[in-house]
Structure 1
Amino acid sequence: MDIYGINVFINAAKRIIKDEGDLKYAALELRFAFERLAYRQIEQYKDDIPSSLVNQWKPDQIIKTLATFDPIGVQSGRLTMIAPDASGGKAHEIELGETRVIPWRKFVKLYNKLGSYLHLPFVSGEGVKKNTLSKDDLERIIEELLEVVSGATLVLAIRNVVWAQCTCGTRLVMGLEVCTVGEVVYCSNKKCNSPWVVEKNDKDETVLAPVKMVGFKCQKCESRIHINMTKLFEVLKCPNCNVEYDVFYNYKLKNV
């Protein structure tokens, strides 16, 4: 059972390798397989992440986000339910399904390795730095993917997130695994850019709270630029179009 729909990419890569074709095409097919896995997993977070936002992300952003959201994406497992015996006897387990995953740390490493192989090598003063993957490397990656395909019967996600609704209407979402109290994050709507801080409420729950800051509109693109009062005299840069602003404080001395 291929619940992720990645066999088509795995089989294409295997054919290319078997026919001794260009390994870059095999690597591309395998990269598609990793992306399909990530797309299928992020569907479980559709209540937390608007599809309009996901559609703006690149595959590597989706994978990076999943690595912070998905605490069970670290290892494979089985989902079971304890059910009482109909005759009043001893309760027994009912298996509901099995998850098979490539741990996110390895997932990101393999995905980036394929991407590095596909990119044009960087040329420096020391010459060309070649990014190579052998036939054996690709076959090992195929084995990792086949392990997922062969055993997974369900897609499971625990929504271990903290979120807030920005005044502009954008939903801010962070994985609790990476939340640090005191950390400042910004609204993903580049026309807003409102700052929020991670803090604990009176119930010791991790929450996102708005930060009171002075702000103004960029004169070029009209995006909102917020001024951190602790960095008042530093050069400000619009996060949307990169125009720079110098901030000055004008004051008058009163006669004593």
Structure 2
Amino acid sequence: MINLDPVIERIDALLDEDTDQSVTYAALEARLALERVCYDRLRQRHDYISHEQLRRWQPGAVVNTLIKEVDEHLGKTLTLSISKSPARPGVKLEDEEYVEVGTEIGFNPKKIAKLWNALAKLALHAHLPEHRNDDIPAYGDRARIRAKVKEVQSELRRLAKGTMTFSGLGEEVKFECSCGELNKRRAGLLRDGQHVHCFNPECKQTWKVTREDDGFGFEQVTVPVNCEACSAANHMPWRFFLDMKHDQVGSFSCHSCRHKNYVQWRLMQVHREGGKETQADT
């Protein structure tokens, strides 16, 4: 959990200086603080999603991915409380006396993304000239930057009231990858046909989620490639090929005869099945 108080104090001090330079630096500090808040929510939940499935790095996009794939409650304020006494027969749980353990303050991902983008636009990018006589000032409009930083400060002060973080709520589903890595996901957010990557950063396996009567199953997503020497089918992880660059040469050893095979992405002309020709635009 991130302690936001020091950065809030730094931003206040920079705003008190009230120069073009200090206000611009305050905007940078504020923007970094928003990133840290979002990325800390990711860090707490990284046991439930492969880093490879974070397709975008922007804070708002990261949080939206987490809400969709890991923790649908991430944007909500959650409080954990514990009963002062063990459960008693005949006493409803809601009638017990509780002690608050801690609270995670929620936030609106759209608001965070809007503030983050606004800070960059106002303070952290030079003006793009629209014509030859257009001026390119060294700094943005101090008053507008200051107002936006204060808006972010208000959000940071609200978030700083949090006293704990969660990794998410809900039933877990676990499966072991062929590499030996134990993967886990939130059952409530799994979808039939969904692809999930192994958590192991050295592993290229992707698994397809299938709904079954007693829960979920996971099938490897592979591409069969016949060995050049013995013709045995080698079921290679799809991401092994997907991650290759054009003209890059990859290799694998046949599981049967250990012959080293080489593969490469190449542009080829193909025809549709049934004799119908396909034409690509040029």
**Could you say which TM-score interval applies, normalised by the shorter chain?**
0.5 to 0.7
Q: 1:245 aligns with which of 258, 262, 266?
A: 266
Q: 1:29 aligns to what SS in structure 2?
A: helix
Closer/same/farther in 2, CA of residues 185 and 77 from structure 1, 3 Å limit: closer
User: Displacement of 1:136 after TM fit?
Assistant: 1.4
Structure-to-structure mapping, 1:215-234, within 5 angstroms: 215=225
Change (3 A) 1:227 1:141: closer
Shift of 1:78: 2.1
**Counterpart of 1:74 in structure 2: which amino acid?**
G
| Contact in 1 for aligned 2:246/2:266 (Cα 8 Å) | no
| Identity level (%) | 19
For residue 211 of structure 1, what is the aligned residue in structure 2?
Answer: 221
Cα-to-partner distance string for 1:35-76 (whole Å, 9 max, x where unaligned): 3323433343354468x989xx95747545544423332222
Displacement after TM superposition at 1:144 (Å): 0.6
Matches within 5 A, 1:166-177: 166-168=177-179
User: 1:8–1:192: structure 2 CA closer, same or farther, 3 Å change rule?
Assistant: same
Gap change, CA 1:184 and 1:39, over 3 Å in 2:
closer
2:6 equivalent to 1:8? yes
Quickly say closer, same or farther: Cα 1:126–1:25, change in 2 above 3 A: same
| Kept after mapping to 2: 8 A contact 1:85/1:91 | no
Is this contact kept in 1: 2:74–2:168, CA < 8 A? no
Is the 8 Å Cα contact of residues 195 and 209 (structure 2) preserved in structure 1?
yes
- Match in the other structure for 2:84: 83
**1:148-187 equivalent positions in 2, closer than 5 A:** 148-149=159-160, 151-158=161-168, 164-168=175-179, 179-185=190-196
1:6, 1:36 within 8 Å by CA — same for their partners in 2? no
Aligned residues: 227
Partner amino acid, structure 1, of 2:31 = R
**Kept after mapping to 1: 8 A contact 2:206/2:238:** no
Rounded to whole Å, the distance in 1 between the matches of 2:190 and 2:237 is: 22
The aligned counterpart of 2:40 is 40
The alignment partner of 1:241 has SS state of coil
Contact 2:192 2:210 in 1 (8 A): yes
Q: Partners of 2:174 and 2:34 in 1: how far apart?
A: 27
Could you tell me how far 1:143 is from its partner in structure 2? 0.2
- In the alignment, residue 242 of structure 1 is paired with which amino acid? H
Counterpart code for 2:245: C
Query: TM-score w.r.t. structure 2 length?
Result: 0.58
1:44-59 matches, within 5 Å, as 44-45=44-45, 47-48=47-48
Q: Judging changes above 3 Å, is the alpha-carbon distance between structure 1 residues 176 and 247 closer, same or farther for their aligned structure 2 residues?
A: farther
Counterpart-to-counterpart distance in 2, 1:93 and 1:125:
62
* Distance in structure 2 (CA, Å) of the matches to 1:122 and 1:242: 37
Partner of 1:152, secondary structure, is coil
Match of 2:154 in 1: 143
Q: Distance in 1 between matches of 2:180 and 2:131?
A: 50
CA shift digits 1:86-138 (9 cap, x unpaired): 9x99731222122223233333333344345565468598999xx98532121
Shift of 1:139: 0.6
Q: What amino acid does structure 2 have at the position aligned with 1:35?
A: E
Aligned pair 1:101/2:112, yes or no?
Answer: no
- Amino acid corresponding to residue 101 of structure 1 in structure 2: G
* Letter of the structure 2 residue corresponding to residue 239 of structure 1: D
Unaligned runs of 5+ in 1: 218-223, 229-236, 250-256
Match of 1:18 in 2: 16
Amino acid at match of 2:30: L
- For residues 107 and 157 of structure 2, the distance between their equivalents in structure 1, rounded to whole angstroms, comes to 10
Q: Distance in 2 between matches of 1:176 and 1:125?
A: 52
Instruction: For 2:14 and 2:99, locate their aligned partners in 1 and report how far apart those are by CA, in whole Å.
Output: 42
Contact conserved, 1:73 with 1:104, CA < 8 A, in 2?
A: no
